[in-house]
Structure 1
Amino acid sequence: MNFHGTQVRQKALTLLRDGTKNAEVARRLNVPKGTIGYWKHVDRARRGECPGRAQRPPCPRCDGELNRSAYAYLLGLYFGDGHIIQNRAMRSPSLSIACAEAHPGLLDECERAMHDVFPNNSVCRVRRKGCWEVKLYSMHMWCLFPQHGPGRKHERRIVLELWQQEIVDAHPWEFIRGLIHSDGCRITNWTTRLVGGERKRYEYPRYFFTNTSTDIVQLFTDTLDKLGVEWKSLNQSRAAVTISIARKASVALMDAHVGPKH
């Protein structure tokens, strides 16, 4: 058996990296062609250049420049109608956001936010009964959504990490938009008043946000407080908590920065 020293191997790698064919390197150095092919494979594997194997894209948060505004919006969507799944059949976990088919504009905004947060990943839409799932796969899902865990979101503690809170503080309206676009709505209420002996009908806009997780509701109301939006919690018999925004000035603020789903 012939053994080839480190110097011979390094010469071979230098020639290979310069584009010299395997057979030519083998001829010049008097090394079997199969050995040259093996050295080339090991060298490319160490440098993450194995043919047929895609390199792992960089993490948007750890390795790149995270789009903080888009992330604040996507975080709000995730807290409302999002979930993360990883099973044995998939190497990468997937993020899915459920969007009602009645709001095609929301579908577009959700997909755009995913693209902006994960620029190196593909986004797809999966048809479900009565809705669409906007979905992507990424090995870096845990870096971006550390609140993920077993069970439903309202059954576990939901607390923002410091870096997430800094993003929400810098882009509060995007966070509120994400929450409203997932578990909220803008409706027109009406009431009647007796004016001059005649009962008249009055209409006024109002925002609602409903979620079963008291932690997520707290994140919503804390952000509203910082923005100067007045709100109140409705008395309900069910487990979910509903927040109402009905004051004229507060509704005007919400209209300027959030608006109805479309």
Structure 2
Amino acid sequence: MKFHGASTRQRALDLIASGVTNAEAARRLGVPPGTVSYWLHVDRSKRGDCPGPHRSSCPRCDGRDLDEAAYSYLLGLYLGDGHIVQYSQHRVPSLMITCGDTWPGLMDACHTAMEAVFPDNSVCRVRRIGCHNVKVYSKHLWCMFPQHGPGKKHERRIELEAWQQSIVDTHPWEFLRGLIHSDGCRITNWTTRIVGGVPKRYEYPRYVFANKSDDIRQLYCDTLTQVGVEWTVLARGSDPFNISVARKASVALMDAHIGPKY
């Protein structure tokens, strides 16, 4: 990890004070945009320009209202492509959801969900090769995502707390949509059959979800069953990591509520 000195930080703040945008200051100095945004936030806090304690309000700690539909979607994204980190130079942890540049609509949906769940915090996008990390800093990430822990998700137990399960039960399609948008897709399979002595091609859509975590796959399957979607396990070799939805009625139901990535 590269650390930047106090002089670089001050140059960034001076550039922003002169009217240069955060992104442009980051480009000129060769610093990640998220780092520049954090420096600006710390500087404003020291000068007392940030709003008061209400900015750190939390649905779990303070009883603040929570957009449960947005949270159910964001939870699905987090379980698939999200992680929480706290670097030594930052006092506040960050939630990052990696979104491929191929699906800009998905990235916008993730950004919107983060803003709805954390209305007092700024959401930013950090550019990476072929993707962006949609990112938010909050002291209450541990409260909102208690599944966080050391190591990879598939190497530890993943269970929803009762309050999370209640939200997923109320907004199951948002949760499924988040999981599909992170680790799933809608594809078109094809096969050929001999009809009247002539080979004929048949195409049919299928939803596939793949995740190494037994617990996350179980959450996905349980929620599919709850909304009336039939599913099967597709094992590649001896690894049953793929969940398929291929029956016509179930695919139609998924299309009505989820659809292809966009």
- The TM-score normalised by the length of structure 2 is 0.79
SS class of match (2:98): strand
Q: Does 1:62 align with 2:58?
A: no
Identity over aligned pairs, percent: 65
What is the aligned partner in structure 2 of residue 27 from structure 1?
none
Deviations 1:161-199 (A, max 9, x none): 000000000000000000000000001111111111111
Q: How many residues align?
A: 214
C-alpha deviations, 1:139-158, integer Å up to 9, x for none?
11011000000011111100
1:115 is matched with 115
Residue number among 52, 55, 58 corresponding to 2:48 in the alignment: 52
Q: Is the 8 A contact 2:233 2:240 kept in 1?
A: no
- Equivalent position of 1:223 in the other structure: 223
1:65-105 C-alpha deviation (Å, 9 max, x unpaired): 01000000000000000000012111110000001100000
Q: CA deviation at 1:237?
A: 2.7
Provide the residue aligned with 2:168 in structure 1. Answer: 168
Structure 2 runs not aligned, ≥5 long: 1-44
CA contact (8 A) 2:234 2:240 kept: no
Task: Provide the residue aligned with 2:104 in structure 1.
Answer: 104
Map 1:1-262 → 2, pairs under 5 A: 52=48, 54=50, 55-56=52-53, 57=55, 58-63=57-62, 64-237=64-237, 239=239, 241-262=241-262
For the residue of structure 2 that corresponds to 1:235, the secondary structure is: strand
Counterpart CA distance in 1 for 2:128 and 2:150 is: 23
Query: Relative to structure 1, is the Cα distance of residues 141 and 181 closer, same or farther in structure 2, using a 3 angstrom cutoff?
Result: same
- Structure of greater Rg: 1
Change (3 A) 1:192 1:170: same
Point out where structure 1 has 5 or more consecutive residues left out of the alignment: 1-48
In 2, the alpha carbon distance for the partners of 1:240 and 1:230 equals 17
Q: Secondary structure at the match of 2:236?
A: coil
Corresponding residue for 2:22? none
Whether the 8 Å CA contact 1:186–1:206 is kept in 2: the answer is: yes
Aligned-residue offset at 1:51 = 5.9
Runs (4+) off by over 4 Å:
none
Amino acid in the other structure paired with 1:62: C
Q: Which amino acid aligns with 2:105?
A: G
* Alpha-carbon RMSD: 1.6
